[in-house]
């Protein structure tokens, strides 16, 4: 009564624990490749050469040290924004408010810097980093508190807090803190002691020809540290343990004596702090001042980054770098091919969707097929099993 | 000539990263029989049934269902072939009515668009009356008792045309009365020619109900026997590989000072009704107080108020002389109250956490595992290895996700964690729900050991035999009150049953008075 093929069609992905790890790493890579394939089809569909499109894109991203530096520079704020979303997500909270939190963090950072003109570098830099985190964190703690105390959904409140943050900082910059004698809606520059150094000289000393004009700065290293810190908090501290417990099963957490409300507020606070750290790149590392409306959506991109990185800190790093590549390469594509600018955005978005979908498919297969669609039809074979034919 | 076997599984194998859940399993279920599957926790029973149903894909093996070979099938395919599964965790939509739930997905339609509520109701009524499944089609699921919810599940499966029914541990959540009713239903289903496969840990149920039994151990089938030709003892031996004491020895313990004293405790439920009404009780150190009662008579709320999870509206709870009424759960835990919650998946563990992480849940902030806010992963893993060995958790691997454990092993994990903390008061709700006989023996022995070491134990269980074997005193709850209290060993199951259903409460006021003293 044996039916052929029953074992042949079965998945063997999860034979041993070791392969699980490998699949974990390979899955996103395979997904990215598949995404590029489909992206290529989109390009071909408008009559452009996919090959030329991608070679230009990658040249734009990887041609030389300068472009790689740009990739990392572009990825830096996305790492912070992605961490913010991912961290809150681990507590079961959907923080859509990264945009507002990074504006507030950046504004507080700038304001504090402007108050301390004579402070020495060793003091000012840590103070400004803390100010950025505190600004973003406290801003996020407000919807966190409303959620924990009154059960008001954090999505609505974080979105509203975005409008307030953008409007408020805009008002403050234009009406109160605008640089004297300038038309641009921006503050004066922060003291030099508060600037984060660029990495060009450091890399040059290592023999990497990163031009002095490249904007990559120490904030990128802070972002790497933040990735590690987020992982460390989640997996090595009692608070992180409690955050994850609340995120996965709040009633079990409550039953185990965890203060769910307090944990939710703290998770939002830390999440917002990561978003606030965008200021280290945008204010301390690059612009050296607060420019009205500078972000144009970094906080929202953070949502995509976090989803792409499956809400794990190291996944966020990977995802932000991928975004960095796409964003940096897109400039080159815009300059040197006839693919219209809008379409580059389309290809970018298609790539991201496919990576997310691909990830999900691999994950489901590994879970043992409980939720996956069947791959082979159920074959109805006659009463006495003509299956034996083979 | 129709095939005699409703189900034929051959050489079915399912490997998970750390265990082989099913190892070359053959299963034959004859048409029209009631077939029991028994085996220790983690033996692979649920996995085998999920494979048959199409929820889990086997690595090897072949399956024939009603004479049709299935390859890589999904539940929708097996449903078409007449298979239905009553899940252990019911899959009903709470705010919907019974009728709406039953017809969900294949609703009778009127005017090509509208759900025909009347037709749905009629069909549900027809099915219910045909098999003695008394059920009000217009009642909302959220208002049903567990036993009735299960009926709704069975009706739903029958509505989909199932002639083979799988029930995974259907009796675990039922009261004795409900079990008896379920068995009547299953027998009448057999009479109508349907085939039934059911998983259970209760060997007397097997003998009482089943025609044949398949015994599993460590993913393999260790025997198929006819129920009329076997005994619980023999089945136990086949399952565990050794003799099991189907009873535990309990000696006399010396009772000390009162540990828990509850006086005039009242509480209001989520819907505003009085779920606890002036409850008084006292447990001394070295004493086990068993609470008997039909689910939904205030036991859950009593436990929740004592452990700080539900607010008391009046009265108070004293723990060794300290008032703990409405204190935070953590404060109460840290004062030495351990709690095995009745709903293991919802409250007892975090399914996405590893076994090691779950084994410290609630104690993660204690100095043993936590220094200056940092958790000691090495210590947590060591601790897990110890408890895994002591409680025989399977697989014996601290890094497995709790959601990947079998149901009984999840329960054993919670018991291991709560018993380990050396509590002054142990509050245990349904501590052996879903665990195999070997583990029941172990849990019972552990509870008695804790008592002998001076702990006070509040035991809530739907399993009357459990209450009767373990308790020094038994209190019966009905309608949010304690309606009777007995010394252990002075009361029969029948008597308890009378008080539990409220039948005896007027005629035998004397026992009540005795209890209130
Ligand atoms: N999704 C999964 N991933 C990894 N291992 C799993 C998974 N599901 C089940 N297992 C393992 O397979 C084995 C068999 O589990 P199964 O649930 O079939 O046991 P069971 O016989 O139903 O036990 P119980 O009586 O406790 O319900 C167990 O060791 C379990 O840990
Ligand atoms: Mg099971």
Least confident interval from B22-26, B200-204, B213-217, B341-345: B341-345
Q: Write down the mean pLDDT value for chain B.
A: 89
What are the structural domain ranges in chain B?
5-240, 245-335+471-517
Q: How confident is the model at residue A19 (pLDDT cuts 50, 70, 90)?
A: low
Question: Which residues of chain A neighbour B375 with C-beta distances below 8 Å?
Answer: 236-238, 240-241
Averaged pLDDT for residues A136-149: 97
How far is it, in rounded angstroms, from Cα A243 to Cα A258? 9
The more confidently predicted of residues B372 and A10 is: B372
Q: Give the tens place of pLDDT for each residue, A272-319.
A: 999 999 999 999 999 999 999 999 899 999 999 998 888 999 999 999
Averaged pLDDT for residues B357-386: 94
* Residue numbers of B between 352 and 391 with CB closer than 8 Å to A: 352-353, 357, 361-362, 364-365, 370, 373-375, 377
Quote the percentage of chain B above a pLDDT of 90: 58
Averaged pLDDT for residues B386-390: 95
Contact between chains at B374 and A381 (C-beta distance less than 8 A)? no
How far is it, in rounded angstroms, from Cα A138 to Cα B334? 31
Averaged pLDDT for residues B184-191: 93
Q: Give the tens place of pLDDT for each residue, A328-351.
A: 988 888 888 888 877 777 777 877
* Residue A186: pLDDT over 50: yes
* Residue B516: pLDDT over 50: no
Asked if A2 reaches chain B (Cβ–Cβ under 8 Å), the answer is yes
Tokens (6 digits) for A271: 């999440």
Tell me how far the alpha carbon of residue A163 lies from the centroid of ligand 1, in angstroms: 49
Q: How confident is the model at residue B505 (pLDDT cuts 50, 70, 90)?
A: low
Q: How confident is the model at residue A382 (pLDDT cuts 50, 70, 90)?
A: very low
pLDDT at B90: 73
Closest CA to B427 of B331, B299, B274: B299
Quote the percentage of chain A above a pLDDT of 90: 64
Helices A17-45 and A50-62: crossing angle in degrees, nearest 10, is 120
Return the CATH number of the domain spanning residue range B5-240: 3.40.50.300
Q: B239: distance to nearest CA of chain A, Å?
A: 27
* Residue numbers of B between 29 and 88 with CB closer than 8 Å to A: 50, 54-64, 67-74, 77
Averaged pLDDT for residues B298-321: 94
pLDDT at A290: 96
Tokens (6 digits) for B517: 């003293």
Contact between chains at A7 and B60 (C-beta distance less than 8 A)? yes
Tell me how far the alpha carbon of residue B41 lies from the centroid of ligand 1, in angstroms: 8
Q: How confident is the model at residue A366 (pLDDT cuts 50, 70, 90)?
A: low
Q: A220: distance to nearest CA of chain B, Å?
A: 26
Task: Pinpoint the alpha helices (H) of B14-116.
Answer: 45-53, 75-80, 98-103
Chain A nearest-CA residue for B340? A255
Q: How confident is the model at residue A10 (pLDDT cuts 50, 70, 90)?
A: very low
Cα A164–chain centre separation: 23
Q: B75: distance to nearest CA of chain A, Å?
A: 10
pLDDT at A367: 58
Contact between chains at A378 and B347 (C-beta distance less than 8 A)? no
* Residue B361: pLDDT over 90: yes
How far is it, in rounded angstroms, from Cα B334 to Cα B421? 10
Tell whether the torsion through CA atoms of B140, B142, B147 and B149 is positive or negative.
positive
Tokens (6 digits) for B318: 């004293």
Tell me how far the alpha carbon of residue B433 lies from the centroid of ligand 2, in angstroms: 11
Least confident interval from A150-164, A364-378, B429-443: A364-378
User: Which DSSP helix (H) or strand (E) runs through B114?
Assistant: strand B114-115
pLDDT at A20: 57
Which string of b and e fits B42-71 if b means at least 16 CB within 10 Å? bbbbbbbbbbbbbbbbbbbbbbbbbbbbbb
Strand order in the sheet with B314-319: B274-284, B258-268, B314-319, B322-323
Q: How confident is the model at residue B417 (pLDDT cuts 50, 70, 90)?
A: very high
Averaged pLDDT for residues A54-64: 90
Question: Which residues of chain A neighbour B348 with C-beta distances below 8 Å?
Answer: 252, 255
Q: Between B331, B365, B374, which is nearest A236 by CB?
A: B374
Domains B5-240 and B245-335+471-517 share a fold: yes
A36-43 — which CB contacts under 8 Å span 24+ positions? A36/A351, A38/A350, A38/A351, A38/A354, A39/A347, A39/A350, A39/A351, A39/A354, A42/A343, A42/A346, A42/A347, A42/A350, A43/A339, A43/A343, A43/A347
Name the CATH superfamily housing domain B245-335+471-517.
Answer: P-loop containing nucleotide triphosphate hydrolases (3.40.50.300)
Please, are residues B174 and B147 in contact by the beta-carbon 8 Å criterion? yes
Tell me how far the alpha carbon of residue B156 lies from the centroid of ligand 2, in angstroms: 21
Please, are residues B99 and B108 in contact by the beta-carbon 8 Å criterion? no
Question: Which residues of chain A neighbour B56 with C-beta distances below 8 Å?
Answer: 368-370
pLDDT at B113: 64
* Residue A230: pLDDT over 50: yes
End-to-end CA distance of chain B: give it in Å, rounded. 70
Least confident interval from A89-98, A166-175, B226-235: B226-235
Chain B nearest-CA residue for A244? B353
pLDDT at B251: 76
Closest CA to B351 of B406, B428, B300, B416: B406
Tell me how far the alpha carbon of residue A367 lies from the centroid of ligand 1, in angstroms: 13
Q: Give the tens place of pLDDT for each residue, B51-82.
A: 999 999 999 999 999 889 998 899 989 999 99
Q: How confident is the model at residue B40 (pLDDT cuts 50, 70, 90)?
A: very high
Closest CA to B348 of B437, B455, B430, B439: B430
Averaged pLDDT for residues B227-242: 88
Q: Give the tens place of pLDDT for each residue, B129-166.
A: 888 888 888 888 888 877 888 888 888 999 888 999 99
Ligand 1 pocket, CB under 6 A: A 368; B 16, 19, 21, 39, 41-47, 394-395, 404-409, 436
Q: Between B62, B72, B307, which is nearest A1 by CB?
A: B62
Tell me how far the alpha carbon of residue B406 lies from the centroid of ligand 2, in angstroms: 5
Residue B166 in 3-state DSSP?
strand
* Residue B397: pLDDT over 90: yes
How far is it, in rounded angstroms, from Cα B400 to Cα B21? 14
Question: Which residues of chain A neighbour B77 with C-beta distances below 8 Å?
Answer: 374, 378
Contact between chains at B72 and A375 (C-beta distance less than 8 A)? yes
Q: What is the ipTM of this complex?
A: 0.86
Burial zone of B372 (CB within 10 Å; 0-12 exposed, 13-18 middle, 19+ buried): exposed
Asked if A251 reaches chain B (Cβ–Cβ under 8 Å), the answer is yes
Please, are residues B47 and B14 in contact by the beta-carbon 8 Å criterion? yes
pLDDT at A266: 98
The more confidently predicted of residues B502 and A280 is: A280
How far is it, in rounded angstroms, from Cα B329 to Cα B433? 24
Ligand 1, closest atom to CA B48? 18
Averaged pLDDT for residues B488-514: 70
Averaged pLDDT for residues B401-416: 92
Q: Give the tens place of pLDDT for each residue, B451-462.
A: 999 999 999 998
Averaged pLDDT for residues B479-488: 92
Tokens (6 digits) for B319: 């723990």
Strand order in the sheet with B68-70: B20-30, B5-15, B60-65, B68-70
Contact between chains at A255 and B341 (C-beta distance less than 8 A)? yes
Gyration radius from chain A CA atoms:
24
How far is it, in rounded angstroms, from Cα B175 to Cα A46? 68
Contact between chains at B72 and A252 (C-beta distance less than 8 A)? no
Quote the percentage of chain B above a pLDDT of 70: 94
Please, are residues A109 and A132 in contact by the beta-carbon 8 Å criterion? yes
pLDDT at B442: 87
Tokens (6 digits) for A267: 């998770």
Q: Write down the mean pLDDT value for chain A.
A: 85
Asked if A369 reaches chain B (Cβ–Cβ under 8 Å), the answer is yes
How far is it, in rounded angstroms, from Cα A161 to Cα A166? 9
pLDDT at A330: 87
Contact between chains at B71 and A5 (C-beta distance less than 8 A)? yes
Please, are residues B446 and B434 in contact by the beta-carbon 8 Å criterion? no
Decide the pairing of beta strands B274-284 and B83-86: unpaired
Tokens (6 digits) for B182: 């379920």
* Residue A370: pLDDT over 50: no
Task: Pinpoint the alpha helices (H) of B216-280.
Answer: 232-240
End-to-end CA distance of chain A: give it in Å, rounded. 12
């Amino acid at each position: 009564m044996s039916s052929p093929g029953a074992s042949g069609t079965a998945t063997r992905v999860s034979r041993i624990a070791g392969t699980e790890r490998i699949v974990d790493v390979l899955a996103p890579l395979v997904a990215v490749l598949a995404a590029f394939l489909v992206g290529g089809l989109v390009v071909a569909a408008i009559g452009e050469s996919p090959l030329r499109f991608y070679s230009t894109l990658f040249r734009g991203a990887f041609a030389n040290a300068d472009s790689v530096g740009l990739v990392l520079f572009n990825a830096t704020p996305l790492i912070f924004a992605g961490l913010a979303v991912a961290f809150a997500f681990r507590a079961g909270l959907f923080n859509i408010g990264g945009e507002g939190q990074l504006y507030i963090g950046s504004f507080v950072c700038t304001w504090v810097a402007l108050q301390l003109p004579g402070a020495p570098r060793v003091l000012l830099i840590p103070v400004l980093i803390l100010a950025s985190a505190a600004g973003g964190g406290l801003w996020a703690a407000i919807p966190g508190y409303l959620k924990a105390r009154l059960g008001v959904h954090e999505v609505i409140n974080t979105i509203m807090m975005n409008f307030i943050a953008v409007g408020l900082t805009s008002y403050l910059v234009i009406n109160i803190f605008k640089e004297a004698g300038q038309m641009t809606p921006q503050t004066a520059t922060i003291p030099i002691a508060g600037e984060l150094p660029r990495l060009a000289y450091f890399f040059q000393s290592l023999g990497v020809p990163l031009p002095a004009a490249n904007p990559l700065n120490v904030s990128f290293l802070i972002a790497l540290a933040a990735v590690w810190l987020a992982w460390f908090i989640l997996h090595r501290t009692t608070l992180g343990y409690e955050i994850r417990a609340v995120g996965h099963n709040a009633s079990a957490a409550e039953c185990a004596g965890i203060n769910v409300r307090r944990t939710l507020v703290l998770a939002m606070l830390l999440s917002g702090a990561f978003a606030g750290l965008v200021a280290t790149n945008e204010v301390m590392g690059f612009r050296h001042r607060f420019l009205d409306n500078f972000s144009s959506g970094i906080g929202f991109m953070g949502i995509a980054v976090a989803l792409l990185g499956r809400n794990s800190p190291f996944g966020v790093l990977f995802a932000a770098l991928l975004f960095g590549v796409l964003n940096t390469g897109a400039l080159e594509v815009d300059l040197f091919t006839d693919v219209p600018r809008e379409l580059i955005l389309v290809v970018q978005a298609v790539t991201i969707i496919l990576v997310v979908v691909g990830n999900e498919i691999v994950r489901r297969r590994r879970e043992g097929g409980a939720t996956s669609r069947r791959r082979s039809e159920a074959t109805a074979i006659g009463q006495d099993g003509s299956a034996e034919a083979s | 000539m129709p095939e005699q076997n409703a189900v034929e599984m051959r050489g079915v194998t399912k490997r998970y990263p750390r265990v082989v859940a099913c190892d070359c399993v053959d299963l034959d279920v004859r048409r029209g029989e009631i077939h029991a599957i028994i085996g220790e926790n983690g033996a692979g029973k649920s996995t085998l049934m999920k494979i048959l149903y199409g929820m889990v894909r086997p690595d090897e093996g072949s399956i024939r269902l009603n004479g049709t070979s299935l390859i890589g099938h999904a539940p929708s395919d097996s449903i078409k072939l007449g298979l239905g599964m009553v899940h252990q965790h019911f899959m009903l939509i709470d705010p919907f009515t019974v009728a709406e739930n039953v017809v969900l997905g294949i609703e009778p339609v009127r005017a090509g668009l509208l759900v025909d509520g009347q037709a749905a109701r009629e069909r549900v009524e027809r099915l219910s009356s045909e098999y003695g499944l008394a059920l009000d089609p217009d009642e909302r699921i959220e208002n049903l008792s567990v036993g009735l919810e299960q009926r709704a599940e069975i009706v739903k499966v029958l509505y989909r045309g199932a002639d083979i029914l799988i029930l995974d541990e259907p009796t675990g959540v039922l009261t004795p009365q409900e079990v008896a009713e379920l068995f009547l239903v299953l027998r009448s289903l057999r009479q109508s020619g349907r085939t039934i496969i059911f998983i259970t840990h209760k060997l007397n149920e097997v003998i009482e109900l089943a025609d044949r039994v398949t015994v599993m151990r460590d993913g393999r089938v260790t025997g198929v026997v006819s129920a009329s030709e076997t005994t619980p003892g023999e089945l136990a031996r086949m399952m565990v590989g050794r003799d099991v004491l189907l009873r535990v020895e309990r000696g006399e313990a010396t009772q000390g000072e009162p540990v828990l004293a509850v006086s005039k405790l009242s509480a209001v439920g989520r819907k505003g009704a009085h779920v606890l009404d002036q409850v008084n009780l006292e447990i001394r150190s070295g004493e086990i107080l068993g609470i008997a009662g039909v689910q939904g008579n205030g036991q859950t709320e009593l436990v929740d108020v004592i452990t700080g999870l539900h607010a008391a509206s009046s009265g108070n709870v004293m723990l060794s002389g300290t008032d703990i009424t409405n204190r935070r759960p953590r404060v109460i835990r840290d004062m030495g109250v351990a709690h095995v919650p009745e709903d293991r998946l919802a409250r007892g563990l975090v399914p996405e956490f590893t076994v090691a992480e779950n084994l410290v849940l609630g104690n993660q902030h204690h100095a043993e595992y936590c220094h200056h806010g940092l958790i000691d992963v090495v210590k947590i893993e060591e601790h897990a290895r110890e408890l895994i060995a002591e409680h025989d958790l399977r697989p014996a691997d601290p890094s497995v996700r709790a959601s990947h454990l079998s149901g009984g092993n999840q329960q054993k994990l919670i018991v291991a964690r709560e018993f380990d903390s050396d509590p002054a008061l142990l509050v245990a709700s349904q501590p052996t729900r879903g665990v195999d006989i070997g583990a029941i023996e172990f849990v019972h022995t552990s509870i008695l050991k804790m008592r002998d070491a001076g702990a006070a134990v509040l035991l809530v269980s739907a399993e009357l035999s459990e209450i009767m074997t373990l308790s020094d005193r038994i209190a019966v709850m009905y309608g949010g009150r304690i309606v009777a209290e007995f010394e252990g060993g002075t009361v029969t199951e029948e008597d308890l049953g009378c008080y539990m259903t409220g039948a005896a409460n007027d005629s035998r006021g004397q026992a009540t008075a005795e209890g209130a003293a």
